[in-house]
Amino acid sequence: MTVLSIIVAPDPRLKVNADPVDKVDGEIRQLMDDMLETMHSANGIGLAAPQVGVAKRILVMDVARPDEDPQPIRMANPEVVWESEEEVLAEEGCLSLPDQYAEVVRPQKVRVRYLDHENEIRELEADGLLAKCVQHEMDHLDGVLFVDHLSSLKRKIILRKLSKTKRMAAVGA
Ligand code: NI
């Protein structure tokens, strides 16, 4: 498995509407495994393909705690087929927005239909952290970042900080 490099916002590759996958074949499976490796090495709980520069509707997640066995989930073409009316406000971060956190409102529970790593149709009923994570990752497939759920002022402050950090890294400051 290969650790891929994660794109940091602001970047136009994070704003694309990703394409559906025709079939989960060996190549897509390999990408899913590389994404899991990349996510784990960055201590993340979710990663979407556009974050590694691949404009495809693929995401991976693992919300297991460090003391639990890994619970990797690989999804292609995920779709929300049901969401609860109850919403929750919870803090989110993102591997593409390092060190930035903000509270986002989302449905508390969702049911998602997707293709797994063997090209089988499956459904996942998610609640709590997993529900928040899958909705956040699915947003990435539509070019939406968690900051896009905030006020434009809050979004600008966060993106400006990230731009500044990138510029400083580029000049080696
Ligand atoms: Ni993210």
Q: Give domain status of residue 137, yes or no.
A: yes
Task: For 16-30, write each residue's pLDDT tens digit.
Answer: 999 999 999 999 999
Residue 172's pLDDT is 79
- Looking up residue 27, the CATH number of its domain turns out to be 3.90.45.10
Residue 1 falls within a domain, yes or no?
Answer: no
Q: Say if 164 falls within a structural domain.
A: yes
At 113-134, the pLDDT tens digits run: 999 999 999 999 999 999 999 9
Enter the tokens of residue 134.
């899958």
Instruction: Look up the domain containing 80 and give its range.
Output: 12-170
Instruction: Count how many domains the chain has.
Output: 1
5 in a structural domain: no
Length of the chain, in residues: 173
Residue 3 lies in a domain: no
User: From the CA of 147, how far away is ligand 1's center (Å)?
Assistant: 10
Place of tokens 């434009």: 152
Instruction: Please check whether residue 59 is in contact with residue 75, taking contact to mean a CB–CB distance below 8 angstroms.
Output: yes
| Spacing, Cα 155 to ligand 1 middle (Å) | 14
Tokens of 51: 């974050």
pTM for the predicted model, two decimal places: 0.96
84 inside domain: yes
The CA 132 to ligand 1 mean position distance, Å, reads: 11
User: 107 CB contacts (<8 Å, ≥6 apart)?
Assistant: 83, 84, 85, 86, 87, 88, 131, 135
